[in-house]
């Protein structure tokens, strides 16, 4: 795979690099997208009915069971060559790399990336739905899909239940987390956008911010995106193919 010269010309001099990743980054590892995750017990359920505060308060055992299944499915997937390429790139002398991801899996971390900001939370992080304290105990998850699974009680408050530390529909992003993402973009010399559709805000606004600051924006996406007006260059290639090729070319 040959990297376009115009992309190499932009990427090669960059030392402070921020990478924004979306669902396309994880697809080649076999991670189901949010809507693709409607399988088995959940085929007749709208995702929005399982990913809102209202759904949680209405039937926490059902929501917890769905997220338990998603967590198991994600945990069985492995980082691909693109995840590993980013981690290896970050280890090169003089390189400072931050990964800002919209994904809720931990594939970047398992590949070795050290500086990862999860805009929408993580399947592998949990907190109390009442006091907000992070859960640091061991979760016991069923080995297969179940219809209901009571969430663990909080050990720090009375009546609290442990929920996924995910940003649900109707919930705002953690502003400290988003501020970290903004800072990573603001201080970058290059924004590399990988596998994101560019339609989910506020993450989709980060490339525009980079453009306004004069920071080059390069996209890797086999299907393109809604970010065409914000890009300096776009390469229609998958993450698992394009990122290793880019690293080799550098």
Q: What is the pLDDT of residues 173-193, one digit of tens each?
A: 999 999 999 999 999 999 999
Is 233 designated active site? no
Question: Are 95 and 157 within one domain?
Answer: no
Question: Are 24 and 131 within one domain?
Answer: no
Question: Under a CB-based contact definition with an 8 Å cutoff, are residues 77 and 30 in contact?
Answer: yes
Question: Under a CB-based contact definition with an 8 Å cutoff, are residues 17 and 74 in contact?
Answer: no
Question: Are 109 and 4 within one domain?
Answer: yes
What is the domain-level CATH number for residue 133?
Answer: 3.30.1600.10
Per-residue pLDDT at 33: 62
User: Pairing state of beta strands 121-128 and 162-166?
Assistant: antiparallel
Q: Residue 221 and residue 53: Cα distance in Å, rounded?
A: 32
- The whole domain housing 159 covers 32-76+125-166
Question: Under a CB-based contact definition with an 8 Å cutoff, are residues 119 and 177 in contact?
Answer: yes
- Closest by CA position to 24, among listed 236, 246, 244: 236
Per-residue pLDDT at 198: 82
Question: Are 157 and 227 within one domain?
Answer: no
Among residues 146, 166, 186, the one where a domain terminates is: 166
Per-residue pLDDT at 189: 98
What is the domain-level CATH number for residue 225?
Answer: 3.40.50.1220
Per-residue pLDDT at 229: 80
Profile the chain (250 residues) by mean pLDDT over runs of 10 residues.
Answer: 95 98 93 65 72 94 92 93 98 97 97 97 96 90 88 93 95 95 98 90 92 96 83 94 96
Question: Are 37 and 114 within one domain?
Answer: no
Question: Are 2 and 85 within one domain?
Answer: yes
Per-residue pLDDT at 40: 62
Question: Are 148 and 55 within one domain?
Answer: yes
Question: Are 8 and 63 within one domain?
Answer: no
- Alpha helices per DSSP H over the chain: 5-11, 23-27, 53-58, 60-75, 81-90, 107-111, 175-186, 206-212, 239-249
Question: Are 1 and 68 within one domain?
Answer: no
Q: Which of 115, 120, 126, 233 is catalytic?
A: 120
Give the distance, in angstroms, between the CA of residue 33 and the centroid of all CA atoms in the same chain. 11
How many domains does the chain contain in total? 2
Per-residue pLDDT at 80: 98
């Amino acid at each position: 795979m040959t990297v376009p010269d115009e992309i190499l010309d932009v990427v090669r001099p960059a030392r402070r690099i921020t990478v924004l990743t979306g669902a396309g980054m994880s697809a080649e590892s076999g991670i189901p997208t949010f809507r693709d995750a409607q399988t088995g017990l959940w085929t007749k359920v709208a995702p929005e009915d399982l990913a809102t505060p209202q759904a949680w308060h209405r039937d926490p055992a059902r929501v917890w069971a769905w997220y338990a299944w998603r967590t198991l499915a994600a945990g069985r997937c492995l980082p691909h060559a693109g995840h590993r390429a980013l981690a290896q790139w970050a280890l090169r002398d003089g390189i400072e790399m931050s990964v800002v991801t919209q994904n809720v899996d931990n594939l970047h971390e398992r590949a070795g990336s050290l500086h990862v900001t999860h805009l929408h939370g993580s399947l592998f992080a949990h907190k109390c739905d009442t006091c907000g304290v992070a859960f640091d105990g061991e979760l016991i998850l069923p080995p297969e899909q179940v219809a209901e699974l009571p969430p663990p009680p909080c050990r720090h408050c009375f009546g609290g239940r442990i929920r996924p530390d995910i940003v649900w529909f109707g919930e705002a992003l953690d502003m400290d987390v988003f501020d970290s993402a903004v800072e990573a973009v603001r201080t970058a010399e290059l924004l590399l956008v990988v596998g994101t559709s560019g339609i989910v805000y506020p993450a989709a606004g980060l490339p525009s911010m980079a453009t306004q600051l004069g920071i080059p924006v390069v996209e890797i996406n086999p299907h393109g995106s809604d970010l065409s007006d914000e890009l300096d260059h776009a390469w229609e290639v998958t993450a698992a193919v394009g990122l290793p090729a880019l690293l080799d070319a550098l």
